[in-house]
Structure formats: C-alpha cells, structure tokens
Amino acid sequence: MIEAADVIVCGPGIGQGAWGQQMLQQVVASGKPRVLDADALNLMASRVAQPAHNHILTPHPGEAARLLACDVAEIEEDRVGAAGRISQMFGGVVLLKGAGTVVAGGGAVPDVVSGSNPGMATGGMGDVLSGVLGSLYAQLKDARVATSAGAALHLAAADLASETRGYMGLLPMDVIEALSQVLVDSERWPDRRSAGDGGDE
C-alpha cells in the first residue's frame, strides 16, 4: 500500500504502541510525501528530530507543546513563532491548528488562516483536515500551497455545514459532505490568508 501511494497520511488512530511506531517508521523510511498528525506527532516528540522537506505536520497546541518540549501557554503566546520553530526543528510545512490557524515553513513567510468555527472542536475534525491536506498535496505537488489551501477549504466547509447543522451539532461527516459544494462555489471560499501570504497561488 505504501508503494502505491503518492502521499501518505499517517497518525490518526495508530496509537503510540509498537504497531504505531512501526507504521510511522515505515512511512518515514519510504521517503514519500506525507501528512503527519495525531499519534504520529506524539511519537515524533519522544525521539530525536529527523527533519524532512516533504512532510506536512498538523499539530494542535498540545501536540505542538510536546514537539517543542514546552507548555501550551507558551505556544498560544506566540503561535506564529511556535509554528516556525517546529518547522525549523522538523523541516517541511507546519499547520498549527486553532483560531487563526498558522501555516509556516516551505521557504515563505507564515500565513494565518483567519476565522474560527467552534463546531470544529469535535473529535475527528483534525482527521478530516489531514485527509484534505493529503489529497491536495497529491494533486498540487506543493506542500505549502496544499496546506494553506486545505486549511481555508476545511474552515469554509465547516462554516457551510454549520449553516444547517449549527455549531453544537456539527460532525466530521457534515464537513466532508460540504467540501464538494465549497469547491464548486468560489464565493464560499474566500482568500482567508491575512499575514504574509505564501505567494500568488
């Protein structure tokens, strides 16, 4: 399966036991472009950093704090700086989740994807985001562009789904179902980059 993949998403659901460690090792050893999330990040935090240029890391503040061996308050005090430090340490592109998602790395000034949706605090939303990023990375072949676009698309789909489901009832499947509508309706997908956009893409 690894050999057949163009981009690999690794982390959600793998756990931190022996099986999860082996899966992460195989993914990294493949050298293939990858999106690393959830337990892949927790496993990375417990070992010596192995920087790579072709991965996207998607930590929430707690995972970011583990990667940088600090506390969550330090991450939230300087989210742009924290995302940049993770990128410097591990390479690749970093998407730091939260209100005002930060995208750093890839040789460009950090982006901030403006806006927030309280319904996205539901478990599984990050897994949807990882899937979106993996899909766009495979198609666009540029980790930085795929990450900024994916973060904006994910938020726009959540906002659209919230119009009918509300914030408190929002589920990951609702966001998945809204993705296709957002993609074909450009008015629902504004340019949300607000700080140091990564280019003209």
Which residues sit opposite 95 in a β-bridge?
103
- Residue 49 CB coordination number (10 Å): 13
State how far Cα 22 lies from the chain centre. 22
Q: Please tell me the distance from the alpha carbon of residue 164 to that of residue 162, in angstroms, as a whole number.
A: 5
> 37, 6, 39: which is closest to 22 by C-alpha?
39
Helix, coil or strand: residue 101: strand
Quote the pLDDT of residue 188.
Answer: 64
The pLDDT of residue 101: 96
DSSP letters of 2-45? TTT-SSEEE-TT--SSHHHHHHHHHHHHHT--EEE-THHHHHHH
Which pLDDT value is given to residue 89? 96
Residue labelled with tokens 């493949």: 30
Number of H helices and number of E strands within the chain?
8, 6
Which superfamily does 8-188 belong to? Ribokinase (3.40.1190.20)
Nearest alpha carbon to residue 96 among 182, 107, 54, 74 = 74
Name the nearest CA neighbour of 55 among 134, 132, 127.
134
Mean pLDDT per 10-residue interval, the chain, length 201 residues: 96 96 96 98 93 97 97 97 97 95 94 91 95 97 96 95 91 96 76 50 39
Query: Tokens 């966001």 — which residue?
Result: 175
Q: Does the global pTM surpass 0.85?
A: yes
Beta partners for residue 56, in sequence order? 35, 93
